[in-house]
Every structure is written in structure tokens, then in C-alpha cells.
Amino acid sequence: MKGVSIKDIAKQAGVSPTTVSFVLNGKAKEKRISEGVSKKILKLATKLKYKPNQLARGLRTGKTKTIGLIVEDIANHFFANVAKIVEEEADKYGYKVLYGSTEDNLQKAKGLLEVLEYRQVDGYIITPTVNLDKDIEALKHARKPMVLLDRYLPNIPTNYVMVNNFQGAYDAAEYLMQQGFEKIAVVTITSEQIQMKERLDGFLAAMKAHRSGFPRKMLKKLSFAATKEEAIEEIKAFITSIPNLDAIFFTTNYLGIYGIESVKDLGLQIGEDIAFISFDDHDLFRLYSPGITCVEQPIHDIARNVIQVLMNELNNNTNQINQVVLPATLVKRGSCSKRLSGKSAS
Amino acid sequence: MKGVSIKDIAKQAGVSPTTVSFVLNGKAKEKRISEGVSKKILKLATKLKYKPNQLARGLRTGKTKTIGLIVEDIANHFFANVAKIVEEEADKYGYKVLYGSTEDNLQKAKGLLEVLEYRQVDGYIITPTVNLDKDIEALKHARKPMVLLDRYLPNIPTNYVMVNNFQGAYDAAEYLMQQGFEKIAVVTITSEQIQMKERLDGFLAAMKAHRSGFPRKMLKKLSFAATKEEAIEEIKAFITSIPNLDAIFFTTNYLGIYGIESVKDLGLQIGEDIAFISFDDHDLFRLYSPGITCVEQPIHDIARNVIQVLMNELNNNTNQINQVVLPATLVKRGSCSKRLSGKSAS
DNA sequence: CTGAAAGCGCTTACAG
DNA sequence: CTGAAAGCGCTTACAG
């Protein structure tokens, strides 16, 4: 039950715990421990299956070799995939990951931050909620290694890794116009989340670049707190409120999923009666008939960059700020093939 | 930067660290600390925002207030959802969760177990791979609180929480027969995972109960290690190899997803040319046209029971074994409506 | 009713 | 080339 300690090895090797510690930490050369002693200790360590007690080490060094991962929702396809890669990559560096979901709730986010601080994680990967500025500022001030994920706080310069939301949405809108769609609507959420704003901005910029403008009534904002049923009702009402609507863009995957459900409920055919694009890819989008065109985020690259940036901080603790913005890819599928018939969607 | 310690409080309160520790651990009564001192310490603690150092406490008590969660794949819809609820529930008891994915690889599973032991987690939630028996046995022998998830090891009595795989698959097969389908095939994986075996057994039992038997050629086993492309090719070949096939059952969600893709590739219409059922629900199944009938696992109940059982172990460490088997629900959707036409599916 | 002291298992500045 | 000793921040058996 009890693990073997440095003392046990010291006793068996006939040396002091100090020497054992030096050798086991690879400081044999530096501390000029003799070859023989060094070898003997190493052999003993593997024989006894010595595992350093992380708690004791952490207490002494202040390092826990643990990182905290705060996402919006670990069950969401995007974040679940990020979590997987983050864990794999962190493992390579000897770090383990503690996680939690904010549900986009400020209080939950603060709570998670508090617990992780308390747990003395060495570094943080954070999907910030709106108004988390003060807490992030505090972390930054304490010089805690940290990298934001999926979004950033415009008023606080920090490390972050995210997709180019503006470009992704711009491409989507432009593509819809190239395909010849005339009445294009957009559905997003009310939240002030920066990545959502940028997606909307990108969409609107494309509309303005190619059209005379964008009427406010073609834009629908849903509350993040709305239940699925409420959201679907609102989307349905929105769609039917626009005569001759022929294309619609959803700014994130779960909205896109609600959108599919709404369109189905209305008895409309995606790709026939209405063109459809969503931000983020999903199994559903890939396999739906027709396939749903989407703006795909490079999840693997995002996760790998996050770890890269964090490890860099952890090991060098430079003051340099790393802000990584990765390109989004428009994945074209059947949902946006040009509608040839003249019939109205509503 | 430095946190406030018990010493700081002791100094300010003019008492010893011992007294502070007693009060902060709710042992004021038991240790007969006077009301006044007690109050003063508590007030000071909140004023100074005292947070006990978990490392120090852990080093002393041997408890880390951390649990290890080992799943097959944290990015999978089922496990991602379990992970979310596990984290939320664990949080209520003051526990944090360290996770990792086995990819159904024995070596990875062993590695995770080793790291978690090393990290001295207080309890384990494990989705065991095949042949993990010895390691689980060791954990059990060390009397580590532990509960298996999603599957169990037939040769080792342990706590576990899982769905009734046999019944779920039995219901699915029976339903297909009730709907009047004649040639029913099943696709599963080669792995000896017990839950997969039970699903297959349930399916076969239903076939035998209502039919003369089940020909081996109606059963397809895919390797877990197969790539998506390979799996789809195999499924396609399997489907075309069976003349007049009219229904097919997939024993887990990702196989079902591959199945949809395969059927689409073949130009067949689910619900028209072939009836389709999958184990596990998924957004895709719900929203596909037609909806895919599935055997739904009660994810929330599973996760909550897992934590319940684990907390029970953690706090009481009884020798009682808890084995929870929750009912699966057949969710009927359009993919299995009785085909009226007589045309062949192949 | 309260405190001095030991100890959990490490690391590291200091000394020789 | 190696070791004795202090200390990280707690908890708890023991003593008074």
C-alpha cells in the first residue's frame, strides 16, 4: 500500500536522501555524483518501482504538473474534441488535466477559476465567458501561465488560440451570394461573446461588400439560456416571417442543429427550398441529406497550438504574448446548391 | 502570490496553528475550543480568504480529493456527456476529475492507471478495456474506491454502472421482427468487450426466440482499429452480400454513423429500402431523415449513479459491492417503419 | 480548553 | 563528491 520513498532507496543504497534526489532528478552530473553511486541508485529506483510523490514534490516546489481546462461545455462536440487532444498532448509533457464547464455562466466560470487556483494548477486553458475580465486580469497579474481558447477578451492582451471567425463567416456569406442566393438571413445568439460578434461582423462585412446593405430584420438573435424547444420555435417564427427567404446562416453548431430541426418542422427541404450554412462541423452536417455546408474549425490544430503556447509559458515564462489565429475552412456540401426553381421558401 | 496559511491566521488570532486547524476542520466542538476563539478564527479565515493548501493536506492525509476518470474516448458523444455530469456531480462533493482516453488500447489503459495511481487519486471511474483484469484486480486488492462504467469484467466482482445491454438489443431485434422485417443483419465489432457481447447476445436471443435461428452470414464484425474508410467499405460489401436484406442493427453509435454513410453510399434509402437501428442515441439519429430508431442509454442516470456509488465507497469504504444496471429505452423513429413494397434492398 | 512537536515525502541552500 | 538540515503547509497523537 505505502509507496517506496526516496528514503527507502537511500537506505538500501547506503547514501543520503539528498544524493538520491539529485540522481533521480538528473542532476548527477551537475552535482558531481560518482558514476557508481548514480548507477546503483537508478537501478534500485527501477527495481523498487519508485514513483516520486507528486504531492510532496508539489508542496516543496509549488508545481503540481496539472493544468486546468475550462470550456463552455465539455459535452459539446467541439470542446470534447479539444479536451481529448489537450489531454493527449499534455500527457507527453507529464501534465494531467482538470476540467470544468462554464455553461457560459459567469458565476460558474469564477467558481471554476477559484477551485483551480486552490488546486494550484500550473497553467490554465480558458474559454472565457463575457465579463470574466477581472478574473483573467488577476491571473495575468499573478503571472500564471494561461492561454485563452475559442475566444479572447478584447481589453486584455493575453495568449489565445482561436479560429479566424471573421474570415470564416465572411467566406460563408460570400459563397452564398456567389451561389446566387438573394434573401440571406443569419441566426446567432444575443451573448456578447467576442467570437460570436466576429462571426456576425464577418457575415455583415461580406454582405456590405457585395450588396447595398443588410436589413436588420434578416438577423435573429437567440438567448443562450433558451431551451431547445424555445429556440426552435423562435427560429421557425423567424423563418416564416421573411417572405422569399432563400438562404440562412447559423453562427455555431448547436444553432445549426436547432436550425435543421426548425426547417424540418416547417416542412421545408434544405437545399431545395432553402440554402443552409452553419459555423462548425458536426457528424450530423456531414451525413445529413443533403450534406450541410459549414465553416470548419481546425480542431486538432487549435488544441495542439493551445498546448504548445501553454508549455512555452510554463517552461520559459517569457513575457512574450502568443496570439494564434487559425484559418477556417468552408466545407461545401449539398445544402447550398443553387436553387433553380423560382418558388418561394415561405 | 503566496497564499495565506494556517500560521498567518494563528498569528493574527493569537492562537496556535493547531487550534486554527481544529476550528477550520469543524472540530471546534469535538476539541472543545471556546466559542470566542472559534468565531475569531472563522472570521479571520474569511477575511483573509484562507484556502487550505490541498497539497499539504494531501501529503498529510493521503487524500487528494481528486478522482480519475478513464473512458474509451472522451470525444465520443456518450463519454463526453458522462464526463460532463461526472464533473458536475463530483464538484458537489469537493472532488475534481482527472481524465484520459484508452482508445480501447490495453497499453494506454495501463498507462493511465499508472499515472493516476502516481497522482494518488482517491477513487477511480473506469471504462475497462479487455484484458485489464490484472490491473483492476490490483486496484481492488489495494482497496481503492473504484467503479466501472459502461462495461465490467466478468471474472472480477466490482462495483459497476451500466445499461442493460442485453435487454436493449433484445428489444431492438424484437421490434424489427414485430415490424415484419424478414432478413435482419447485425454489425458489431470484433472486440471481446463484454457490453458488445451482451448486445450481440441480446440480439441473437431475440432472433432465436422468434425465429428458427440466425445464420452466421448475417453477422458482421468490424475491427475497432479499422479506419472510418475501411469500416465503411466493409459495411457496404456486407450489405450488398445479402440478397433481400431488409433491416440492420448496429451495436454502437459510431458504427451506426458509419452505417448511415454506407447505406447512403450504396444509394439506398433508410426506412424505404432498409430498416435501421443503432445502439446509443445521437443528434444525427434524431435529426436524420427519416429519424433513426435507437436504443437509448440513460446517460444522466448512469453518470449520477457512478458518482453515487463512488462517493459511497469513498466515504464509507464498506465491502459491499454495488452493481447498477439501468434499463435501455427503444426510441422509435422513422427508420423502421414497415416497408410495404415488396422490392429487394440489394 | 489549548499548544508544542512530529511527520507526510520531497527539494535545495549550505557546508565540508 | 556527498550529507545534515530546514522547510513547503498541513494534521493529529500526545500532553497538560
CATH superfamily of the domain spanning A6-52: lambda repressor-like DNA-binding domains (1.10.260.40)
SS (H, E, C) chain B: CCCCCHHHHHHHHCCCHHHHHHHHCCCCCCCCCCHHHHHHHHHHHHHCCCCCCHHHHHHHHCCCCEEEEEECCCCCHHHHHHHHHHHHHHHHCCCEEEEEECCCCHHHHHHHHHHHHHCCCCEEEECCCCCCHHHHHHHHHCCCCEEEECCCCCCCCCCEEEECHHHHHHHHHHHHHHCCCCCEEEEEECCCCHHHHHHHHHHHHHHHHHCCCCCHHHEEEECCCCCHHHHHHHHHHHHHHCCCCCEEEECCHHHHHHHHHHHHHCCCCECCCEEEEEECCCHHHHHCCCCCEEEECCHHHHHHHHHHHHHHHHHHCCCCCCEEEECCEEECCHHHCCCCCCCCCC
Q: Which residue of B has its CA nearest to A74?
A: B84
| Residue A289 contacts B where some CB pair is shorter than 8 Å | yes
Cell of A72: 463552455
**C1’ D3 / CA A1, Å:** 29
d(CA B152, CA B160): 7
Residue B207, CA distances (Å) to A172, B184, B203, B217 in order: 49, 9, 6, 14
Cβ–Cβ under 8 Å, residues B336 and B179: yes
Q: Which nucleotide is nearest to B31 (CA to C1')?
A: C1
Highest mean pLDDT among B2-6, B95-99, B288-292: B95-99
Same fold, B6-52 and B165-297+331-336: no
Chain B residues with beta carbon closer than 8 angstroms to that of A73: 84
Is omega for the bond preceding A52 within 30 degrees of 0, making it cis? no
pTM attached to this predicted model: 0.90
Residue B243 has pLDDT above 80, yes or no: yes
Residue A1 to residue B115, Cβ atoms within 8 A: no
Residue B256, CA distances (Å) to A10, A88, A239, B35 in order: 57, 26, 32, 64
What single letter denotes the amino acid at residue B3? G
What single letter denotes the amino acid at residue B194? I
How many residue contacts between A and B have a Cβ separation below 8 Å? 114
Q: Give the up-direction half-sphere exposure of residue B60: CA atoms within 13 A in the CB hemisphere.
A: 7
d(CA B148, CA B127): 6
| Residue A56 contacts B where some CB pair is shorter than 8 Å | yes
d(CA B165, CA B191): 15
d(CA A27, CA A107): 45
Position with higher pLDDT, A153 vs B38:
A153
**C1’ D14 / CA A20, Å:** 33
Highest mean pLDDT among A50-64, B108-122, B326-340: B108-122
d(CA A238, CA A218): 9
* Angle subtended by helix axes B194-210 and B165-178, to nearest 10: 30
| Residue A1 contacts B where some CB pair is shorter than 8 Å | yes
Query: What pLDDT is recorded for position A345?
Result: 42
Kindly state the DSSP code that residue A270 receives in the 8-state scheme. Answer: B
Distance (Å) from the alpha carbon of B46 to chain A's nearest alpha carbon? 14
Mean pLDDT of A201-205: 96
User: What confidence category does residue A1 fall into, taking pLDDT thresholds of 50, 70 and 90?
Assistant: very low
Kindly state the DSSP code that residue A274 receives in the 8-state scheme. Answer: B
Alpha helices in A181-227 (DSSP H): 194-210
Q: Give B175-184 pLDDT, tens digit per residue.
A: 999 999 999 9
Mean pLDDT of A210-231: 90
Query: What pLDDT is recorded for position B72?
Result: 95
CATH number for A165-297+331-336: choose from 3.40.50.2300, 1.10.260.40, 3.40.640.10, 3.40.50.10800: 3.40.50.2300
Q: What is the CATH number of domain A65-163+299-327?
A: 3.40.50.2300
Class of domain B64-163+299-327: alpha beta
Residue A1 to residue B142, Cβ atoms within 8 A: yes
Distance (Å) from the alpha carbon of B16 to chain A's nearest alpha carbon? 22
Mean pLDDT of B71-90: 95
Mean of per-residue pLDDT scores for chain A: 90
Query: What pLDDT is recorded for position A32?
Result: 75
Q: Please tell me which residue lies nearest to nucleotide C5, judged from CA to C1'.
A: B18
Query: What pLDDT is recorded for position A340?
Result: 46
Mean pLDDT of B59-66: 90
pLDDT above 90 covers a percentage of chain A that reads: 67
d(CA B282, CA B99): 22
Query: What pLDDT is recorded for position B2?
Result: 60
Position with higher pLDDT, B166 vs B57:
B166
Domain ranges of chain A: 6-52, 65-163+299-327, 165-297+331-336
Query: What pLDDT is recorded for position B346?
Result: 41
Mean pLDDT of B145-169: 95
